[in-house]
Structure 1
Amino acid sequence: MAVAALALYLTGLALAFGWRTFAQWRRTGDTGLRLDAGPAGSLSWWAKTAFVAALVLGLAGPVAALAGLAPLGVLDHAPVRAAGLVLALIGTAATLAAQLSMGASWRIGVDAGERTALVTGGPFALARNPIFTAMITTSAGLALMVPNPVALGALAVLVAAVQVQVRAVEEPYLRSVHGSAYRGYAARVGRFVPGLGRLPRTEPADRP
C-alpha cells in the first residue's frame, strides 16, 4: 500500500500544481501562482510555511513506510487501508474538479492588490473552500493508507495551515475586495463543509 500511496501522492501533486498551473498559463497567460508569503513571522508567512511543510511530510509519509517505519497498530488494518485508498482517490479527483471550476479566477496564494471574480457556483455552492476540503480528504486518505506518525503529522499540519490561510488571509481579502457580495455568500455557504462555518450576514461594517 505504501507504493500506491506514494504514486497517488505524486500524481495528485503533479495534477493539482503542475498541470493546473500549466493549463492556467495556456488559457490566460498567467500561471495563477501568488507565492509571496509576506513578512517573516506574519500569519500569511506561517500559513505558507506550514503548507509547504505539510507537502513535504505528505511525501515523507509513504517514503517512511517504504523505509520500514512501523504504522500505528490501532490503524494498521486492511479495511482501514482500503478506506484510505478510496478517500485519497476521491480527494484527488475532487481537488482537480474544484480547481477547474474556478476558471480564470484560480490562484495559489493571494495578491492583496488583485481582484478576480467571486466564484460561488459548482462545488463552491456547497463549501466556500472546496479545494482545501478535497486536499484534506486526500491527506486523510493517504494517512490511512500508510498510518505512520509522519503521514498523520502531515494531515495535522495541513489542517492547521489551511485554517490559518483561510481565516487569517483569504477571508479578510475576500471581504475587502467583494464586500457585501462575499458576506452574503459566506452567510449562506459553509467554510469547508455544507452548513458549518457560515459567517454572520450582518457585520459592523454593514450597519448604518
Structure 2
Amino acid sequence: MTQSVSFWFDVSCPFAWMTSRWIKEVEKVRDIDVTFVPMSLSVLNDGRDIPESYAHKMEANWGPARVFAAVADQEGAAKVDELYTAMGTIVHVEGESGKTGYGAYNDVIARALEQVGLDADYAAHADDEGGQAEQSLRRYHQEAQDLVGDDVGTPVVKLGDTAFFGPVITRLPEGEEAGEIFDAAVRLSQYPYFFELKRSRTEAPQTK
C-alpha cells in the first residue's frame, strides 16, 4: 500500500535539505507518495527576539519562501518538488547559502525558476511583503505548526496521520538503508505515545 508523506521545508535550511534528499532516496525503494509543502523559518521567527546576525538571514529567507508558496498555489506539489531540488542544489551544493538581507536570494530564485521552466514572473513574489504569496506561506506554515507545535524548525514530516520535526540527519543514506530508516520512522509514528528521540549533533549536514 502506498505510504503518504507530507514534507514541510524551508529551502534555506540545510537540515531540511538533507532530510529531503533522504526522502528522495526512499522514493526509489519504497512505495511512497510525497507532497512537498513550503514553510518558513522567517515566519517562525517573525517578531521573536533573535540575534541580529540571524535576523538578517531571516530577512533574506522571506524571498524564496514566498516564491515557493506562489508556485504551490498555482502549479501544485509536483512543481514545488522540482523547484526545491533545483533551488536547494544551488543553495546547498553550489555554495549559495547563508545570505543576508532582503532580496539576497533574488538571483538564485531567477536561476532556479529558469532551470525548471517556470515563468520568471514568479520571482516578483519574493519581494511582495504582505502579498498573496506571503499570506499563503503563513497558511502553509501554520498547517505544520498545528501538527507539531511552534517550538521546532524545519523539516516537518508527516507519515500517514502523524507528523514530527525531523528526522534530523547529517549524512545521506542511500538505497535500502534509506528505506530501512524510513520503515523505522513509520513504525515509530504508528505508536500514539511516541514523541521524540534526540541527541547532541557532532557535525553539520554534509550537503556537498
TM-score (norm 1): 0.26
Higher fraction of helix: 1
Higher fraction of strand: 2
**Structure having greater relative contact order (Cα 8 Å, sep ≥ 6):** 2
